[in-house]
Amino acid sequence: MRENARVTSDSSGDYQELVDEISELLGAPATLENRDFELIAFGAYDGEGDLDPSALDPVRTRSILTRRSTAAIRTWFEGFGITRATGPVRIPPTPEAGVYRGRICLPVRHRGVVLGYVWLLDDDDPGPSAPQLDAAMQVAARIGALLADEAQAGADLTRELRAVLTAERGWQRDMAVAALRTALGPRGDGPHTVVCVAPWPSADPDDAPSARTVPHATALCTVPWGAADQQCLAVLVRLRSTDVGTPAASAAARVLGDVRGPGVRAAAQAPGNTRGPGASTAAQVPSNTRGPGASTAAQVPSNTRGPEARAASRPPANGRNAGAGGTSQPSSAGGTPTANTTSRPPTDGRTPPASNASRPPRETAPVAGIGTPRTGLTDLATTWQEATAAARAALAEPRFAPVADWSHIGPYRLLTSLPPDSPHDPAVAPLLSPTHHELARTAEAYLDCAGQAGRTAAELGIHRQTLYYRLSRVEQLTGLDLDDGEDRLLLHMALKRARL
């Protein structure tokens, strides 16, 4: 069993650490469920034998994957008297009930009331000793005290967290922060961050999960999001250090796993979601959303990059519309040259990409944004603004989804600070009409590729002459010069802003 920092009685605010402590004491992975058999935390499987498919227990597997047990399983286990027990209860294996492996149940009680259960697989003979089980029951008692405290204060923390996140700047916010700090006690002075999950599937402002079912969560609440009938979920996450954001990613993955399915948890914690803004667009887009030309773009030789290559790749303005023979003309229907350029193989011998390649669509499923970790609660509202900005960026750019960290969203840190209803720049506004969607898409791809015509054409699946024609149309519509750095910056930021 892996080593874990032991939790003392004055810092037992982390269910996962307490479960890990029991696992370490008894030498077996433990799970913690509330009295309704909803999963709160579970220990890691470290032995290969535990992961042997022939040895997996269907009931335990379902509990971990779905975070709850069926009513029939609950009734079956309660038949062994666990609701009345004050000490460990051994339950024998019963294959016909789907319980392939024996159990040890440690009732979690507080002041005589059962609040949950700690479960361990019991395959060894003779199994844990009496002193080991006594020590584990002491940890279970600490879990019971924590469950009781959170059950009593949970509603108040929800109200006070919402008050902090929605209060106007000034004395109202200061009072809300003071109230939340008082409710949290010493925990309020530690490092925290905030996770924003948006859009939240339910429009009911009171429809939020319990904080005890989300790892490292101190408080949860729903907050209005966008349209009047939409909500987002705010999760106040406690950290061990402002330098380690793993607890926030775990909390985001747990919540997203509930609303998007268990499969999203691995993606939410994958290294690719923590790349910095310097990573290339093609590298960050998941393989199932990249256009057919992405692999071509990724293999552009290094000697085609740089200012000299850009100048060479873009012919003079009077030559942009020319095809191989300089005679192609724009098509009135498609906005591209009529020369049959798509049938010409690329010069490197690779199969030409499909002409209907498209950039990733806007994300529609719920995503999560994480703010910058800070110590104390004074700047909690700022952290929340960052978390909502990161969530907006993840909805706009699928390469950031399903979990975006504010420090990794690049220019969207600036763009999300603009008022949502602010008008588009007048020079770029004509390009943003539905009529010119393809031109806008082309311009954004060209700027994402740092003005490299070869990469852009490959990503879009079009011929270079088609690209040159579209870029000239962009310049005509906007009055911007794509060879001018400031004009490029304005156009690029305006196109990114339009995604929000």
pLDDT digits (tens, 9 = 90+) for 47-86: 554 445 545 666 666 666 555 667 788 888 889 999 899 9
Lowest-confidence pick of 3-7, 449-453, 471-475: 3-7
| pLDDT at residue 306 greater than cutoff 50 | no
Q: Which two tokens stand for residue 412?
A: 């969207």
pLDDT of residue 107: 94
pLDDT of residue 161: 92
Average confidence (pLDDT) over 416-434: 81
**Do 205 and 231 contact (CB within 8 A), yes or no?**
yes
What is the model's pTM?
0.55
Q: Which of 83-97, 118-132, 291-305, 410-424 has the highest mean pLDDT?
A: 83-97
Of 145, 139, 147, 181, the C-alpha closest to 164 is: 181
Instruction: Round the average pLDDT of the chain to a whole number and report it.
Output: 74
| pLDDT tens, position by position, 317-368 | 433 433 333 333 343 333 444 333 333 333 333 333 333 334 455 557 899 9
Average confidence (pLDDT) over 467-471: 92
Share of the chain above pLDDT 70, in %: 69
Q: Using pLDDT thresholds of 50, 70 and 90, give the confidence band for residue 184.
A: confident
Q: Which two tokens stand for residue 341?
A: 């350029």
**Which conformational region is residue 489 in: left (phi greater than 0), alpha (psi within -120 to 50 degrees), or beta?**
alpha
pLDDT of residue 67: 59
Q: Is 372 exposed, middle or buried (0-12, 13-18, 19+ CB in 10 A)?
A: middle
Lowest-confidence pick of 44-53, 72-81, 203-212, 462-471: 44-53
Average confidence (pLDDT) over 371-398: 93
pLDDT of residue 174: 92
In angstroms, the CA 332 to CA 473 distance is: 12
Question: CA angle, 491 as apex, 485 and 494 as ends, to 5°?
Answer: 135
Lowest-confidence pick of 268-272, 320-324, 428-432: 320-324
Strand pairing of 367-370 and 231-238? unpaired
| pLDDT at residue 19 greater than cutoff 80 | yes
Q: Using pLDDT thresholds of 50, 70 and 90, give the confidence band for residue 105.
A: very high
| pLDDT at residue 165 greater than cutoff 90 | yes
Higher-confidence position of 293 and 410: 410
| pLDDT at residue 470 greater than cutoff 50 | yes
pLDDT of residue 230: 86
| pLDDT at residue 282 greater than cutoff 50 | no
Q: Which two tokens stand for residue 462?
A: 């079009």
Of 245, 318, 259, the C-alpha closest to 472 is: 318
C-alpha pair distances (Å), 86 with each of 127, 128, 134, 167: 19, 17, 11, 46
Q: Which two tokens stand for residue 208?
A: 């939020």
pLDDT of residue 286: 37
| pLDDT at residue 13 greater than cutoff 60 | no
Higher-confidence position of 377 and 185: 377
| pLDDT at residue 266 greater than cutoff 90 | no
91 pairs with which residues across the strands?
103
Average confidence (pLDDT) over 395-418: 88
Tell me phi and psi for residue 320, to 5 degrees.
Answer: -65, -30
What's the DSSP call for residue 49? G
Q: Using pLDDT thresholds of 50, 70 and 90, give the confidence band for residue 227.
A: low
pLDDT of residue 236: 94
Lowest-confidence pick of 2-6, 96-100, 244-248: 2-6
